[in-house]
Chains A and B, each alone.
Chain A
Amino acid sequence: MTVFLQYLANGLSMGSVYAIIALGYTMVYGIAKMLNFAHGDVIMVGAYVSFCATSYLGLPAPVAVLISILACTALGVLIEGLAYKPLRQAGPLAVLITAIGVSYLLQNAAQLIWGATPKNFTAIVSFPVPEPLASLNVSAVSITTIIVCLVIMAALMWFTGHTKMGKAMRAVSEDKDAARLMGINVNRTISMTFAIGSALAALAGVLMCSYAPVLQPTTGAMPGIKAFTAAVFGGIGSIPGAFIGGILLGIIEAMAQAYISSSLANSIVFAVLIVVLLVKPAGLLGKYVPEKV
């Protein structure tokens, strides 16, 4: 039983990392209706910035996280302005390919700046974990990640539901042209979406690398893809869906590794995804959130 709980805790920890990345994916998709494949790489940049701030400049962790959030927000707005804004009228395929291009650009730029050799990321949070969680090997990072996920989820739902900018985002998500007719500045709204998505990416990067400490230019790529899967699983565009999708993906992966086969774990995760999408094509929560924000 203890071993089962340990697997569950491992799954929750990994799942919370997927969830926090998936929140950024789903936010941008929900509003700008584009898959930002460079999201995983913005995460990597966020982690590098925080790494440099703590290791080279000796700054305390909260300051480093703040710098990282600011840097990623600026980067996100820059990417959106340079790469995506000129394609606003182009087809979705052109935007998708551009996003993949941006992803490679960020990876290779990171390699030029920071080198290819991996760096070990020191966890930004550590506090004594209370029993019985400590005996299940739940780390301070995992607890923090889950709490941060829940806070972000609540904040995003409040923001999109109750603020003027949030309402503008939902309007843009529904129908860009109609929103423009109603006097909403569509470009500014989409830039704002990217700014928020990239700020989330910085947080996700810092927490992800605190959990899985290897930092290299390709660090963000695979978790990015898995978190995208999690977002689709939960219903892309749905904020609670991204959270639930991420957590479930982590748990299914852990259980498959533990009780079926560690080499088949990914196949099992994706098989579950296919079954879910066959039964509920919009994802787990896709159907219940008609506004998809």
Chain B
Amino acid sequence: MSLNMNPAMNRRSLVAGVAGLGAAGILAGCSGGGASSDGGSAAGSGSAIKIGSIGPKTGATASYGLSVTNGAELGCKEFSVDGLSFEYRSEDSTGNAETAVNAYNTLVDWGMQALVGPTLTGPSVSVAASCNDDRTFMITPSASSEDVTSGKDCVFQVCFTDPNQGKNAALFLADKYADEKIAVIYNSGDAYSSGIYNAFKEQASASKLQIVSEEAFKDDSASSFNNQLTKAQAAGATFIFAPIYYTPASVLLTNAHDMGYEVTLMGCDGMDGILGVENFDTSYAEGLLLMTPFSADDPASADFVKAYQDAYGETPDQFAADAYDGVHAVAEAIKKVGVTADTAREDACDKLAAAMLEITVEGLTGTLSWNDKGQVEKDPTAYVITDGKYVKA
């Protein structure tokens, strides 16, 4: 249900107010916003650096948020070595921007020194603005819009930007599938999907791809793709580019199969996870192409996959891997500039942001480095699903 109740009360002002009442008697001089010189002292848990994460743990997008918060938690556990020690806490955003900002404020009050989150683009844009104003270091595992990092020197991304993905997908198609008649199906109500679509369209016309049909859908009509597929089929499409998440994609593949429509589907990183949909007939996904930086079948990821399965009972997807890499990047940056549990959040922010431009991380999702726009630089890899496994295309 998309009823959007807008609480007029800002949670931070409430928390700050209550904290202020208590602090007045006990901790004179500690300001509610956490802007004091000894930032993290309030929670007093000693030597651990405090990492926070935000993602939808409930609601329609919960599967992404749980992956991100689990991945970040595992990262905080595993990178607490070599003299580093992390304390981790995550908050639920329910996929909503205002709730995410409230979650961020809760984490700041807790004494968070760096944020590995949020998960979704919309909430991340709002939280990134707060981070930039408050001077909090932020690295989002999965929010891929350029709006998240643009104009904010302390905000970084682990995943590719949407335009980058759309452009790479079009270049890949021009290289390998130039003769196919291509239909595009995208979610016009989703910033991720339409962001990729716009960049794809631009590059596709530059690369002279044959786009025969362009169809949109929205979340509320994602339960059936029969009309879009009928249109694509009538236009003679032999290939469908669908920059959408894996849940609607599994419906799309089932619909296409039921129609008897033989077509090759290609998606971007949001398609990762499709083989994990419980009870989904993965034979429908045979031949599916996807561009994603992470594969759970890759031997290089085996240790991570095993640790994740042991801890959470599920095979990690790209969201979890991105979050793990996000913590990895923070750990590398901390080693470089020597942030400790006593470093104030604002100081940590400036130091980490400067270090990010210099480090290179050998992560699960490739070899990562960052440009001064906060965007990641890594190589996209195209996989094709063969016998239920990702095989490099």
Determine the distance from Cα of A116 to Cα of B217 in the docked complex, in whole angstroms. 22
Chain B residues in 8 Å Cβ range of A117: 63, 276-278, 314
Does B221 contact A253, Cβ atoms closer than 8 Å? yes
Tell which of A120, A223, A261 touches B280, judged by Cβ atoms closer than 8 Å. A120
- A180 → chain B closest CB, angstroms: 34
Interface check B223, CB cutoff 8 A: yes
CB of A222 within 8 A of CB of B219, answer: yes
Q: Are B277 and A118 in contact (CB under 8 A)?
A: yes
Q: By the criterion CB–CB under 8 Å, are A3 and B247 in contact?
A: no
- Among B1, B254, B260: residue with most chain A CB under 10 A: B1
Task: Spot the interface stretch: B41-49, B226-234, B349-357.
Answer: B226-234
- B201 CB to closest chain A CB, in angstroms? 14
- How close is A255's CB to chain B, nearest CB, in angstroms? 9
Q: Are B227 and A119 in contact (CB under 8 A)?
A: no
Which of A13, A55, A104, A258 sits near B231, CB closer than 8 Å? A258
Mark contacts of B273-295 with chain A using CB atoms, 8 A cut-off: 1 yes-contact digit, 0 otherwise. Answer: 00011111100000000000000
Q: Are A119 and B224 in contact (CB under 8 A)?
A: no
- Cβ of B205 under 8 Å from chain A: no
Q: Is the CB of A139 within 8 A of B258?
A: yes
Contact A137 B259 (CB under 8 A): yes
- Which chain B residues numbered 128 to 145 have a C-beta less than 8 Å away from chain A? none
In the complex where A117-B278, A122-B279 touch, is A7 in contact with B227 (Cβ < 8 A)? yes
Shortest distance between the CB of A179 and any CB in chain B (Å) = 32
Q: Is A100 an interface residue (CB 8 A)?
A: yes
Are A116 and B62 neighbours in the complex by a CB distance under 8 Å?
yes
Q: Cβ of B226 and Cβ of A111 under 8 Å apart?
A: no
Supposing A7-B227, A14-B224, A265-B221 touch, asked if A120 and B279 sit within 8 A by C-beta, the answer is yes
The majority secondary structure among interface residues of chain A is helix
Partner of B58, one of A3, A103, A108: A108
Find out whether the CB atom of A262 lies under 8 angstroms from the CB atom of B228: yes
Task: Indicate whether B188 reaches chain A with its CB closer than 8 angstroms.
Answer: yes
Say which residue of A217, A218, A258 sits within 8 Å of B227 (CB atoms).
Answer: A258
Cβ of A222 and Cβ of B220 under 8 Å apart?
yes
Q: Complex: how many Å from CA A263 to CA B216?
A: 5
Choose one: A214, A217, A258; the contact of B223 (CB below 8 Å): A214
Given contacts A116-B63, A137-B258, contact A37 B250 (CB under 8 A): no
Cβ-based interface call for A257 (8 A): yes
A119 contacts B259, CB within 8 Å? no
CA distance in complex: A111, B188 (Å)? 27
Say yes or no: A7-B219 contact (C-beta < 8 A), given A111-B58, A119-B279, A225-B1: no
**B347 close to chain A: CB less than 8 A:** no
Name the distance in Å between B306's Cβ and chain A's nearest Cβ. Answer: 19
A137 touches B278 (CB 8 A): no
User: Does A161 touch B at the CB level, under 8 Å?
Assistant: no
Does the CB pair A10–B230 fall under 8 Å?
yes
Question: Inside 8 A of A107's CB, which chain B residues have their CB?
Answer: 1, 58-59
Question: How distant is B204 from chain A, measured CB to nearest CB, in Å?
Answer: 18
Roughly how many angstroms separate A108 CA and B63 CA in the complex, as a whole number? 13
Given contacts A216-B247, A221-B1, A262-B217, contact A10 B278 (CB under 8 A): no
- Asked whether B3 is an interface residue with its Cβ less than 8 Å from the other chain, the reply is yes
Q: Counting CB contacts under 8 A, is B60 at the interface?
A: yes
* Interface check A144, CB cutoff 8 A: no
A43 within 8 A of B: no
Query: What residues of A have a CB within 8 angstroms of the CB of B372 in the complex?
Result: none
Partner of B250, one of A214, A222, A223, A226: A214
Query: Quick one: given A116-B66, A118-B278, A137-B258, are A226 and B226 in contact (CB under 8 Å)?
Result: no
Q: Are A213 and B254 in contact (CB under 8 A)?
A: yes
**B215 in contact (CB, < 8 A):** yes
Interface size, A (range)? 35 or more
Complex Cα spacing A207 to B218, Å: 22
Counting CB contacts under 8 A, is A87 at the interface? Answer: no
Please tell me if B23 contacts chain A, counting CB pairs below 8 Å. no
Give chain A nearest CB distance to B286 CB in angstroms.
15
Q: How far is the CA of A198 from the CA of B228 in the complex (A)?
A: 33
**Per-position 1/0 for B249-266, Cβ under 8 A of A:** 011001000111000000
A214 touches B230 (CB 8 A): no
| CB of A160, distance to nearest CB on chain B (Å) | 29
For B228, B247, B277, B314, the residue with the greatest tally of chain A CB atoms inside 10 Å of its CB is B277
* Nearest B residue to A137, CB-CB: B259
With contacts A7-B227, A212-B224, A257-B228 known, is A120 near B250, CB below 8 A?
A: yes
Per the bound structure, the CA–CA distance linking A223 and B219 in Å amounts to 11
User: Which residues of B have CB within 8 Å of A3?
Assistant: 230, 234
Q: Cβ of B188: which chain A residues have Cβ within 8 Å of it? A: 263
Chain A CB within 10 Å, residue with most, of B63, B223, B250, B277: B223
Contact A120 B227 (CB under 8 A): no
Could you say which residues of chain B place their CB within 8 Å of the CB of A118?
Answer: 63, 247, 250, 277-278
B291 to chain A, nearest CB (A): 22
CB of B287, distance to nearest CB on chain A (Å): 18
A218 touches B60 (CB 8 A): yes
A121 at the interface (CB under 8 A from B): yes
| B66 engages A266 (CB within 8 Å) | no
B187–chain A nearest beta-carbon distance, Å: 9
Verify if A187 is at the interface (C-beta below 8 Å from B): no
B 322-364 to A, binary, CB cutoff 8 A, 1 in contact else 0: 0000000000000000000000000000000000000000000
In the complex, chain B residues whose CB is within 8 Å of the CB of A14? 224, 226
Query: A186 at interface (Cβ–Cβ under 8 A)?
Result: no
Bound CA–CA A55/B250 (angstroms): 18
Q: Give CA–CA (A161, B47) in the complex, Å.
A: 74
**Hey, what's the 0/1 contact readout for A113-140 against B, CB within 8 Å counting as 1?**
0001111111000000000000001010
A92 to B385, CA, bound (A): 53
Provide a sorted-by-A list of 11 A–B residue pairs whose CB atoms are within 8 angstroms: A107-B1, A111-B58, A119-B277, A120-B254, A120-B280, A221-B2, A253-B221, A257-B228, A262-B231, A263-B188, A266-B220
**Contacts A211-B223, A266-B221 given; 7 further ones with Cβ under 8 A?**
A111-B58, A116-B57, A116-B62, A119-B279, A120-B280, A212-B223, A261-B216
Q: Which 10 A-B pairs have the closest CB atoms?
A: A116-B62, A212-B223, A120-B280, A263-B216, A119-B278, A10-B226, A263-B188, A257-B227, A120-B279, A218-B60
